[in-house]
Amino acid sequence: MPIIKSLSALLLSLMLPLCQPAQAKTLCRTPDPATVEYLQRLTDSVAGFRLDNGLRVFLLPDPHRSTVTTRLVFRVGARDEAPFEYGYAHLFEHLMFKGSREVPGEGHFRLIEQVGGETNAITTFDQTDYWNRLPAGQLDLALRLEAARWQGLQLSAEKIRNQLAAVREERALRLDNQPYAKVLVDLFLKLAAGTPYGHNPLGTDAALDGATAERLQNFFERHYRPDNGLLIITGKFTPATARTLVARQFGALRAVAEPAPEATAIYRLDSTEARLPDPLAPFPLYGMAWTSGGQSARDYRAVEITGDLLFGNASSRFQAQLRKLDKPAFLTQSFTFGAHYLGITAIGFVPRGRTSFREFRELVGNTIREAQVGGITRAEVCRAIRSRQTRYLQELATSTGVARLLGNQVLLGHAPDFLQPWQAWAAQTPASVEKVIGSHFRQPTVAVEVAPNRGLRFVKKLLELMPENMANRLEDAVL
């Protein structure tokens, strides 16, 4: 299902140069006190409680909003699946929208849309989230619909068959028929083999073919349990009313005697160098990646800042190398991905014709070596910090963003604290970035070249051998 992320007028006034709170020693300029005050007030506004059956509930009212958002989070994702269950967590993301005893068929979508709301869900390696955003005053409807499908999900053979077909179609659209996607995902899964992150959340044919109502019901009962769930309500609502509605809709859920297991290990990927043919690729793609400990690691915020500083934005070290050496690219993309117990920082590079894979690796290597030898400056650390903090405020500008960030914190075992990520980024220094480079970025975990079909590979090699001006003119003419 489609998933993903408007900036409110309230936060526009807060996005001044950012950094650490004034009471601590700061690397960058002291932030606007209103920003810190806002984040602290947001944290102080969270009220949490637990129902007798174990369901944790967090309320964050905001009378200035015109909507109310619910987010029901379950600590179940691809990493919780046995081999014969690969894809089940994501399959339930589909099944939960396809009718219950009280709300049959497409009723969940229809009733939300009738009042002008929106609804969706997302499955990751670590969790499954269901969210609804409706006009203020419709909280009762959102909670009634969530309770109806949780307590009255119906798993008919026809419904399972239809949603298995939908999952396969989604996999074909998002993965199998996308340039670069399948070969890179397959490579990641191969390197993560032996860890809970070593299979595709979209599932395998063997596991999906074996999905029966009995197996799915067993999976549902193991994971969709009150003590494995988390309900978040944000936006415009009255806390007392919300407590009454939550108790009414979810209080009858049966408690489970045994607590749900939680993973605690930190995983790392195996190392490899590979050349992967991809007949769907229109151009070569060069990539390198470095592994880290994921969101549960103590240095995760430092890894994010380091990845941004080295590769992640227009002012990064790598982009400076490209400009200095006049090495244009069709596309340069970098990201830091953090599952709960596994992290990756990666850079992808679609080159112009004269740049070879060897030259790309040298560019990346020089970027890291210069940072190690010459050190990191305060100014570039501050730029990376400000970029992260600005994006953080942008997500907090929406009630769905607030609910997502709050849910992630709680699932990782932290108390609600919207100031903590801000402070963690602000605490980074040249020394902390250099430490991360030394511990995580000295050698790449992955160096990969995705090669297009043979004809395009021949043209690419020909361009590399031509004089630069001739190669550029020819490439521009063809494009």
Q: What's the CA gap between 49 and 257, in Å, rounded?
A: 19
H/E segment holding residue 389: helix 378-396
Q: If DSSP codes are grouped into helix, strand and coil, which group holds residue 451? A: strand
Greater model confidence, 331 or 273: 273
Is 25 or 3 the better-scoring residue by pLDDT? 25
Task: Report how far apart, in Å, the C-alpha atoms of 317 and of each of 28, 100, 139, 208, 360 are.
Answer: 19, 53, 48, 44, 14
- pLDDT top residue among 119 and 261: 119
Q: Are the C-beta atoms of residues 419 and 33 closer than 8 Å to each other?
A: no
Q: Are 161 and 44 in contact (CB under 8 A)?
A: no
Query: Which structural domains are found in the chain, ordered by start?
Result: 41-250 (3.30.830.10), 272-478 (3.30.830.10)
Task: Write down the pLDDT at residue 413.
Answer: 92
Q: What angle do CA 244, 246, 250 make, to 5 degrees?
A: 130
pLDDT over 80 at 264, yes or no: no
Structure confidence at residue 72 (pLDDT): 98
d(CA 146, CA 33): 39
- Give Cβ neighbours of residue 28 (< 8 Å, ≥ 6 apart): 17, 18, 19, 20, 378, 381, 382, 385, 386, 426
Which residues, at least 6 apart from 104, have a Cβ–Cβ distance to it below 8 Å?
A: none
pLDDT at 478: 52
Strand, coil or helix: 327: coil
Residue 344 has pLDDT above 60, yes or no: yes
More confident call, 261 vs 223: 223
pLDDT digits (tens, 9 = 90+) for 161-215: 999 999 999 999 999 999 999 999 999 999 999 899 999 999 999 999 999 999 9
What percentage of the chain exceeds 70 in pLDDT? 86
In this prediction, residues 425-438 reach a mean pLDDT of 96
Checking if the pLDDT of 23 tops 50, the result is no
What's the confidence (pLDDT) of residue 14? 28
Give the H/E segment covering residue 478: helix 468-478
pLDDT averaged over the chain? 87
Give bridge partners of residue 120 from the DSSP assignment. Answer: 131
CB of 400 within 8 A of CB of 71? yes
**For range 423-447, the mean pLDDT:** 94
Which residue stretches of 51-178 are H helix?
Answer: 88-95, 107-114, 139-152, 157-171
H or E element: which one contains 57?
Answer: strand 56-61
Distance CA 95, CA 442 (A): 45
CB-based contact 427:149 (threshold 8 Å): no
C-alpha to C-alpha distance for 396 and 405, rounded to whole angstroms: 8
Q: How confident is the model at residue 353 (pLDDT cuts 50, 70, 90)?
A: low
For residue 7, pLDDT over 50 is answered with no
Between the alpha carbon of residue 257 and those of residues 237, 238, 273, the distances in Å are 33, 32, 48
Lowest mean pLDDT among 225-239, 308-322, 425-439: 308-322
pTM: 0.86
**Average pLDDT, integer, range 25-45:** 83
User: How far, in Å, CA of 24 to CA of 36, rounded?
Assistant: 13
Q: Is pLDDT at 384 greater than 90 in this prediction? A: yes
